């Protein structure tokens, strides 16, 4: 057994042309050998989780309604590589925390904090579906018969998908209105899909030029998105390798691979069989990982070099969210842990001539400033906000050190303070450099944060002191997995050994949260565009405030302003509107008009006609509920139109009467349970009304009084 030593390990993504050297360049002949265009895309948009009477809530064809919203679900169908793909997608609601913030900086280093609005970013997760089942599954999804997409096996599910959609509503042709960026997996192939502009931004010298539109076949002429298989990456000699450097008491010097795998109590040890390269069997894969989904909320920063490469803070932000959307898919399907973003720190694209000592990591690239030094400075900075509750902080840069494109501290998830080890600062941090597949680098480095070492390669297996994660009895993992020391582009999963290592440490990761369970650090925040308690107004970001005549960036009204047009419904030209001015129109005969009172800048609370009042055509059986004229049958018909559902189930068994249970159109003796509930105010039970999906029984004495009154009227009629 290797002598026990306790230390921190610094893991670098490092490039080798000669595996005996710890430095050299990335293979200049690495390139993409093949690609195709995304042709004839067809987008079917619908709302996956919704109330049953909203006019949006129906299948919408691209030719009728081109705008995709952040909380929509959709199916995209397209042709590539002589086949048709069907991707069924839903919003990734776990990625951006509801109270997420973004801090941006001007060229002088002045910060502006604002809310990270999920509605600005079209981020989705989903599955690839069999072609012959796609239409049936789509109809089931529209009516809510199928549950949210998961990683478990479902009929027709051929693989997972993560997409970001870029939408340009100024484009007329359907093929150019939406471009797609992300990754999906089918069978043994992983496909990367991206806008042509993104491909050109990352294009290497030997990557193929994109064919001009005029030279393409007619069906590809207007395509603005390309697709390629990760296995289409060709390389003559190898490539980017990840090396390991230790900081600590084991006497390691420079870049070494020998870390004692038994040094941490959070990691399951393995033993080499004496005299051979076989290994003993370890604990079952997944032992220790959560049985219900958890989220690791993170902070992500982008230095000036990264922002400069992407040309704007907004484009850098979009790329970061795309990276985390894809990397999260790998962690969710493997460990039942999603990656969430709760804070972004986006620097100016102008690098400071002299780095600010409080954020020394934000500087331009320099041969004298290694990526490991950037990590150390970033870790020191992270420790200044140790009470922010982030499980990890990660830095995106465009400054690799030679071929080193990533670095992370091992087994430091949930570490929020900064420790000093020799000349290095250590915390729950990592750094990834810009590459054509950044999401893989991010996933790899976070794997180190969770405690995974590199997978073993053949040259390490005879060495019983090598620190690596072995695969089966052969030891060599053959470069098949994310934690491989060589950066292989065609990998999208963790090795069984890495899974066992990470899951073994999960019980100690106390910062993992249930979805939606993390309490925000602060409840209100000036600059998020939302008027909150203690604020006179809130005009949002600095550029928005510059155009606002009423509100100042400090959330105070400007001199002479009585209210804010952007935040107050009863405000116009910074003055309160006259009394009886309509501020909220009635949406139906069950809704009431709200008017300004001439005193307050706020519109009164939305109020409706009393629930249960008759509405609509006489004899139609419709009644008011939460401002809508509807019925149980109408709500089932609205949701299940495509499946020929026309009425509610009359007497569902063992189900709350406010759950959306409808009559099976093919059997009078069975019901179909759909996602969601009857809207609040719908009649249920004995004189009851639905509220948040449950039936709240009404006043029994009032009910009996109505019955007695009705009987009395009947007797009077019979005796008259």
Grouping H, G, I as helix, E, B as strand and the rest as coil, residue 296 is strand
DSSP at 520: P
* Helix (H) and strand (E) counts in the chain: 11, 34
β-strand partners of 430 = 394, 408
Cα 692 to Cα 680: distance, rounded to the nearest angstrom: 6
543 is catalytic: no
Cα 448 to Cα 370: distance, rounded to the nearest angstrom: 19
Say if strands 31-32 and 242-248 run parallel, antiparallel, or are unpaired. unpaired
Cα 382 to Cα 429: distance, rounded to the nearest angstrom: 8
Cα 590 to Cα 592: distance, rounded to the nearest angstrom: 7
Angstrom CA distances, 13 to 248, 440, 548, stand at 19, 11, 47
Q: Which of 130, 190, 188, 184 is nearest to 158 (CA)?
A: 130
Cα 538 to Cα 578: distance, rounded to the nearest angstrom: 23
For residues 76 and 87, is the Cβ–Cβ distance under 8 A?
yes
Return the half-sphere exposure (C-beta side, CA atoms, 13 A cut-off) of residue 307: 25
Q: Which of 673, 677, 707, 706 is nearest to 689 (CA)?
A: 677
β-strand partners of 648 = 662
Cα 454 to Cα 407: distance, rounded to the nearest angstrom: 13
DSSP at 267: S
Catalytic residue among 90, 445, 535, 594: 445
Burial of 419 (0-12, 13-18, 19+ CB in 10 A): middle
Q: Which of 693, 674, 677 is nearest to 144 (CA)?
A: 674
For residues 119 and 127, is the Cβ–Cβ distance under 8 A?
no
Q: Which residue has the tokens 């502006």?
A: 112
- Other CB atoms closer than 10 Å to residue 114's CB: what's the count? 20
Q: Kindly give, in sequence order, each residue whose CB lies less than 8 Å from that of residue 699, ignoring residues fewer than 6 positions away.
A: 687
For residues 4 and 260, is the Cβ–Cβ distance under 8 A?
yes
7 is in an annotated binding site: no
Cα 663 to Cα 672: distance, rounded to the nearest angstrom: 6
54 is in an annotated binding site: no
Grouping H, G, I as helix, E, B as strand and the rest as coil, residue 592 is coil
Output the six-digit token pair for 48: 């996956």
97 is in an annotated binding site: no
Residue positions forming the annotated binding site for Zn(2+): 444, 448, 454
The residues annotated as belonging to the active site are 445
Q: Give binding residues as ranges.
A: 444, 448, 454
């Amino acid at each position: 057994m290797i002598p026990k030593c306790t230390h921190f390990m610094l893991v670098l993504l490092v490039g080798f042309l000669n595996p005996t050297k710890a430095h050299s360049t990335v293979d200049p002949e690495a390139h993409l050998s093949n690609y195709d265009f995304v042709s004839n895309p067809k987008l079917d948009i619908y709302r996956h989780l919704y109330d049953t009477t909203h006019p949006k809530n129906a299948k919408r064809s691209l030719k009728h309604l081109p705008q995709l919203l952040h909380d929509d679900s959709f199916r995209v169908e397209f042709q590539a590589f002589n086949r048709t793909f069907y991707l069924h997608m839903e919003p990734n609601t776990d990625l951006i925390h509801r109270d997420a913030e973004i801090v941006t900086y001007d060229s002088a280093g002045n910060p502006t904090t604002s809310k990270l609005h999920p509605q600005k970013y079209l981020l989705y997760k989903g599955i690839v579906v069999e072609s012959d089942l796609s239409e049936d599954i789509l109809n089931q999804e529209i009516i809510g018969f199928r549950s949210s997409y998961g990683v478990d096996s479902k009929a027709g599910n051929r693989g997972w998908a993560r997409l970001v959609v870029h939408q340009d509503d100024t484009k007329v042709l359907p093929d150019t209105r939406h471009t797609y960026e992300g990754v999906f997996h089918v069978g043994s192939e992983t496909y990367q899909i991206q806008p042509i502009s993104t491909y050109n931004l990352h294009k290497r010298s030997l990557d193929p030029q994109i064919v001009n539109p005029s030279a393409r076949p007619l069906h590809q002429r207007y395509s603005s998105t390309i697709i390629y298989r990760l296995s289409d990456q060709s390389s003559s000699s190898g490539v980017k390798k990840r090396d390991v450097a230790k900081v600590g008491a084991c006497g390691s010097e420079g870049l070494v691979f020998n870390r004692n795998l038994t040094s941490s109590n959070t990691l399951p040890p393995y033993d080499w069989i004496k005299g051979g390269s076989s290994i003993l069997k370890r604990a079952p894969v997944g032992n220790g990982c959560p049985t219900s989904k958890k989220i690791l909320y993170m902070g992500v920063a982008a230095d000036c070099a990264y922002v400069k490469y992407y040309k704007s803070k907004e484009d850098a932000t979009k790329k970061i969210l795309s990276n985390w959307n894809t990397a999260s898919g790998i962690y969710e399907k493997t460990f039942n842990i999603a990656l969430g973003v709760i804070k972004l720190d986006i620097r100016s694209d102008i690098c400071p001539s002299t780095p600010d000592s409080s954020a020394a990591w934000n500087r331009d690239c320099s041969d004298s400033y290694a990526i490991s030094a950037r990590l150390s400075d970033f870790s020191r900075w992270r420790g200044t906000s140790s009470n922010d509750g982030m499980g990890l902080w990660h830095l995106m840069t465009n400054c690799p050190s030679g071929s080193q494109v990533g670095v992370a501290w091992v087994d430091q998830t949930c570490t929020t303070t900064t420790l000093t080890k020799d000349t290095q600062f250590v915390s729950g941090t990592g750094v990834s450099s810009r590459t054509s597949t950044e999401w893989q680098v991010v996933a790899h480095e976070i794997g180190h944060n969770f405690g995974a070492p590199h997978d073993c390669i053949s040259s390490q297996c005879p060495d019983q002191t090598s620190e690596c994660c072995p695969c089966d009895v052969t030891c060599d993992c053959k470069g098949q997995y994310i934690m491989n020391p060589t950066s292989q582009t065609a990998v999208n999963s963790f090795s069984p050994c890495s899974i066992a290592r990470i899951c073994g440490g999960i019980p100690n990761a106390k910062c993992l949260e249930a979805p939606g369970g993390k309490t925000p650090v602060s409840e209100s925040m000036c600059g998020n565009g939302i008027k909150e308690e203690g604020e006179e107004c809130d005009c949002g970001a600095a550029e928005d405030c510059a155009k606002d005549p009423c509100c100042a960036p400090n959330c105070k009204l400007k001199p002479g302003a009585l209210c804010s047009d952007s935040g107050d419904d009863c405000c116009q030209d910074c003055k309160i509107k006259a009394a009886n001015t309509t501020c909220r129109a009635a949406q139906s005969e069950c809704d009431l008009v709200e008017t300004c009172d001439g005193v307050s800048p706020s519109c009164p609370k939305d109020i409706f006609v009393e629930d249960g009042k008759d509405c609509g055509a006489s004899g139609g059986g419709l009644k008011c509920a939460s401002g809508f004229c509807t019925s149980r049958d109408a709500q089932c018909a609205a949701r299940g139109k495509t499946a020929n559902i026309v009425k509610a189930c009359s007497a569902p068994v063992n189900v709350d009467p406010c759950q959306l249970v409808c009559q099976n159109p093919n059997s009078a003796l069975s019901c179909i349970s759909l996602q969601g509930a009857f809207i609040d105010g719908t009649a249920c039970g004995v004189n009851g009304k639905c509220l948040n999906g449950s039936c709240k029984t009404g006043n029994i004495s009032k009910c009996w009084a109505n019955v007695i009154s009705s009987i009395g009227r009947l007797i009077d009629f019979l005796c008259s």
